[in-house]
């Protein structure tokens, strides 16, 4: 056996078998050095007369997670992936691929260019390019529909979903499943190819019959389902090119791929992908997390129940505290309902649900929190209530237990100071429904210990949530920014735009729901309570819109009461509530406003400019560590359109100068609300962007 080190691609020979091993941690991304290494390895083994078969496998987590995302947008270096894969497919000696781990994008395209594929148990394959605003650009749209049924290929390519290895075998993506280690599977596969028991063939040479109706139906479906996204539709257009000879199809695929590569959506989606990872970089990352083996949740309302569900799903036993036995029972029933829903959506197995329920103890006995490692308080948003609870927890909980509060506005420093152990107190702000929404805003108070912060990140990882670090201020990152831009929507409504028009304009822009529909969903009473709480501090110069208060005074809180801005007699439809429309008109009159028209563009421009303005202040004050943290909060907690990459990523598309011009124009109407944030001014003066701040 001979071995030569070609980092990050290793070549090895064993008799007449050539083995190529990808070794580019963490996920064997196909960066320039890997492509060059693979190209050299294929040339070398093809030129070696002793070698009769080649097998490619990967070290570590997976064969390969695909193209190196960090290279996108930079000038190409080294062999291009499509050329390399053509070269592999053209090899006279059969090439076998061993697929293990999560093998995606270019990684799967590499396997498709080989002459047979072996899957390992647990492997998952997919072409997730559409979720990055791209399409498979290295032959994936031409090879997959030749290898498997065209309809199935369209589904995999246009959804970006990950296909488990058993399904991949049934579909014909992998030829066999081998439960040995990647290198052993590669050797076995190579031998099987030599003795003929593993048939080998070039995917490009497989004849294919395209029914154009499949393409039309898929395009139509995607236009309806995801109208804002270009990539899935273009990906289907690329699949349609299989009607052409292979080489021409590849060329067409490349042209469509390059169109998408230059699109702003691609930039936004990759920013969103990176944001999820960037928020892990926190000053406390090196601290040793504390052990969390058991948890307590105080409060069996919607939030408490959702948090308990999320903890149980992460395998953490929960003691849930309610005030009366029947409320504890109701909370347990609500957790059960959530877990049943998770089973229905295939998020967990029936056994997993039973195990989780067995680990739930719903009780009225606060003292039973004496032994838990973590408590999350999720009771009514009232400082006096929190003060009482934290005083009791301080007495009951064991030393070193983490005391978390799910407050969404209140001062976590003040809460911490109600205990004799402020170092153990932290804000853990979940978003409703807490077992579904991915965001966890972690509010780090002045005295919170670094290992308590690190524990929050470890916990978020176990719950598959995206933790974002926030400093202490009213509303933290998300709700503080929301409270500001929400006013822009109210001002437009008072000045003449219908709430229905505002919602529709923002939904067309890409938000899942407009602000008034969201208010109805969340419950209008929540915002009402907050406005009442903040009323004493409201500056005299601030314009105050009373419409929402009038609606609430009628007991109309949105969906839960059957009416709010909209009527919900039929839960599927949303019809404007004529009484709410009448209130809007009456309030305009009372305020002496002559209604004027707003275009949809004006609505989105004002709304987004307001959001960006407050986001810039949150960054400047250090409440958010970097612009990307604000982006992550909005992407994972507020339904911000993913292809725009978050408010401050989107801000860079507009540019600081243009944003300042907008604010100065709007300020002519309301100089108190529309003020240029100093950070925006600094960026405009220095020619920098929010993206530049992320790098600093």
Q: Which of 127-135, 230-238, 291-299, 534-542 is the region at the interface with ligand CAA (rule: CB under 6 A)?
A: 127-135
Binding flag, residue 106, ligand CAA (CB under 6 A): yes
Instruction: DSSP letter for 537, please.
Output: G
Question: 464: number of CA atoms within 13 Å, CB side?
Answer: 10
Q: What is the dihedral angle through the alpha carbons of 385, 389, 390, 394, rounded to the nearest 10 degrees?
A: 160
Q: Of the two residues 135 and 583, which places its CB atom closer to ligand CAA in the complex?
A: 135
Answer yes or no: are the C-beta atoms of 577 and 563 closer than 8 Å: yes
Determine the Cα–Cα distance for residues 447 and 424; give it in Å rounded to an integer: 8
Using the rule CB under 6 A, which residue among 12, 89, 129, 614 binds ligand CAA? 129
Q: Of the two residues 121 and 199, which places its CB atom closer to ligand CAA in the complex?
A: 121
Using the rule CB under 6 A, which residue among 11, 21, 29, 372 binds ligand CAA? 29
Determine the Cα–Cα distance for residues 303 and 9; give it in Å rounded to an integer: 49
**Residues in Cβ contact with 32 at an 8 Å cutoff, skipping those fewer than 6 apart:** 68, 71, 77, 78
Catalytic residue among 129, 377, 500, 587: 129
Residue 155's SS3 state is helix
Q: Is 623 left (phi over 0), alpha (psi -120 to 50) or beta?
A: alpha
With both helix axes pointing from N to C terminus, report the angle between 106-113 and 140-147 in degrees, rounded to the nearest 10. 50
Determine the Cα–Cα distance for residues 296 and 379; give it in Å rounded to an integer: 13
Binding flag, residue 26, ligand CAA (CB under 6 A): yes
Binding mask 176-205 for ligand CAA (x = CB under 6 A): ------------------------------
Using the rule CB under 6 A, which residue among 8, 94, 119, 128 binds ligand CAA? 128
Q: Of the two residues 68 and 373, which places its CB atom closer to ligand CAA in the complex?
A: 68
Using the rule CB under 6 A, which residue among 17, 130, 132, 331 binds ligand CAA? 132
Answer yes or no: are the C-beta atoms of 475 and 414 closer than 8 Å: no
Determine the Cα–Cα distance for residues 512 and 637; give it in Å rounded to an integer: 12
Q: Which of 38-46, 134-142, 215-223, 502-510 is the region at the interface with ligand CAA (rule: CB under 6 A)?
A: 134-142
Q: Of the two residues 65 and 676, which places its CB atom closer to ligand CAA in the complex?
A: 65
**Structure token pair of residue 367:** 């003292």
Catalytic, 129? Answer yes
State the nearest-atom distance from the C-beta of 190 to ligand CAA, in Å: 25
Q: Which residue's Cβ lies closest to ligand CAA?
A: 105
State the nearest-atom distance from the C-beta of 174 to ligand CAA, in Å: 18
Please give the residues from 263 up to 302 whose contact with ligand CAA meets the rule CB under 6 A: 277
Binding mask 592-631 for ligand CAA (x = CB under 6 A): ----------------------------------------
Please give the residues from 34 up to 93 whose contact with ligand CAA meets the rule CB under 6 A: 65-70, 81
- CA 517 to chain CA centroid, nearest Å: 22
Q: Of the two residues 126 and 527, which places its CB atom closer to ligand CAA in the complex?
A: 126
> Which has the closest alpha carbon to 614: 487, 434, 433, 444?
487
Determine the Cα–Cα distance for residues 177 and 166; give it in Å rounded to an integer: 8
Determine the Cα–Cα distance for residues 7 and 408; give it in Å rounded to an integer: 49
Binding flag, residue 679, ligand CAA (CB under 6 A): no
Q: Of the two residues 146 and 421, which places its CB atom closer to ligand CAA in the complex?
A: 146
Site residues (vs ligand CAA, CB under 6 A)? 26-27, 29, 65-70, 81, 102, 104-106, 128-129, 132, 136-138, 277
Residues annotated as catalytic are 109, 129
């Amino acid at each position: 056996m001979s071995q030569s080190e070609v980092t990050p691609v290793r070549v090895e020979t064993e008799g007449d078998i050539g083995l190529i091993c990808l070794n580019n941690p963490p996920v064997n991304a196909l960066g320039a050095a890997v492509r060059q290494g693979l190209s050299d390895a294929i040339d070398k083994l093809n030129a070696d007369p002793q070698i009769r078969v080649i097998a490619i496998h990967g070290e570590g987590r997976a064969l390969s997670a695909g193209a190196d995302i960090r290279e996108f947008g930079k000038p190409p270096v080294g062999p291009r992936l499509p050329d390399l894969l053509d070269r592999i497919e053209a090899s006279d000696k059969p090439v076998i691929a061993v697929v293990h781990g999560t093998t995606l994008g270019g990684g799967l395209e590499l396997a498709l260019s080989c002459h047979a594929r072996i899957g390992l148990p647990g492997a998952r394959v997919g072409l997730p390019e559409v979720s990055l605003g791209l399409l498979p650009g290295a032959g994936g749209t031409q090879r997959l529909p030749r290898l498997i049924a065209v309809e199935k290929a369209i589904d995999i390519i246009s959804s970006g979903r990950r296909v488990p290895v058993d399904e991949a075998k049934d579909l014909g993506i992998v030829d066999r499943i081998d439960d040995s280690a990647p290198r052993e599977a590669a050797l076995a596969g190579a031998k099987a190819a030599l003795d003929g028991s593993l048939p080998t063939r070039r995917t490009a040479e497989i004849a294919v019959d395209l029914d154009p109706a499949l393409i039309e139906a898929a395009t139509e479906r995607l236009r309806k389902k995801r109208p804002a996204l270009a990539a899935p539709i273009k990906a289907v257009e690329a699949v349609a090119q299989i009607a052409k000879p292979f080489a021409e199809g590849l060329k067409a695929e490349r042209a469509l791929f390059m169109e998408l590569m230059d699109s702003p959506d691609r930039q936004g989606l990759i920013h969103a992908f990176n944001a999820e990872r960037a928020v892990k970089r926190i000053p406390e990352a090196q601290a040793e997390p504390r052990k969390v083996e058991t948890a307590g949740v105080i409060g069996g309302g919607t939030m408490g129940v959702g948090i308990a569900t999320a903890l149980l799903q992460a395998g953490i036993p929960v003691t849930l505290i309610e005030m009366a036995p029947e409320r504890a029972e109701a909370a347990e029933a609500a957790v059960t309902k959530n877990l049943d829903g998770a089973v229905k959506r295939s998020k967990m197995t029936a056994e997993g649900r039973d195990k989780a329920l067995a680990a739930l103890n719903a009780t009225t006995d606060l003292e039973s929190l004496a032994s838990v490692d973590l408590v999350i308080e999720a009771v009514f948003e009232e400082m006096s209530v929190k003060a009482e609870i934290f005083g009791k927890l301080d007495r009951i909980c064991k030393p070193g237990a983490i005391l978390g509060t799910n407050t969404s506005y209140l001062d976590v420093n003040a809460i911490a100071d109600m205990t004799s152990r402020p170092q153990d107190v932290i804000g853990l702000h979940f978003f409703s429904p807490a077992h579904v929404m991915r965001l966890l805003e972690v509010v780090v108070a002045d005295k919170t210990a670094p290992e308590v912060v690190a524990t929050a990140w470890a916990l978020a990882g176990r719950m598959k949530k995206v933790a974002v670090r926030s400093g202490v201020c009213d509303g933290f990152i998300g709700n503080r920014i929301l409270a500001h831009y929400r006013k822009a929507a109210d001002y437009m409504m008072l000045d003449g735009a219908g709430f229905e028009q505002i919602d529709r304009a923002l939904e067309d822009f890409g938000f899942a729901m407009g602000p008034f529909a969201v208010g109805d969903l969340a419950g209008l009473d929540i915002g009402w309570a907050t406005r009442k709480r903040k009323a004493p501090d409201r500056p005299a110069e601030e314009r105050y819109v009373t419409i929402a208060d009038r609606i609430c005074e009628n007991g109309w809180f949105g969906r839960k009461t059957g009416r709010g801005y909209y009527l919900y007699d039929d839960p599927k439809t949303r019809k404007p509530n004529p009484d709410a429309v009448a209130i809007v008109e009456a309030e305009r009159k009372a305020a002496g406003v002559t209604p004027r028209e707003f275009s949809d563009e004006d609505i989105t421009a004002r709304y987004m400019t307001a959001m960006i303005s407050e986001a810039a202040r949150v960054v400047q004050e250090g409440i958010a560590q970097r612009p990307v943290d604000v982006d992550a909060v909005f992407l994972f907690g507020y339904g911000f359109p993913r292809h725009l990459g978050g408010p401050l990523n989107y801000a860079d598309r507009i540019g600081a100068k243009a944003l300042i011009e907008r604010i100065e124009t709007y300020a002519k109407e309301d100089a108190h609300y529309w003020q240029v944030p100093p950070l925006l001014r600094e960026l405009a003066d220095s020619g920098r962007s929010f993206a530049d701040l992320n790098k600093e």
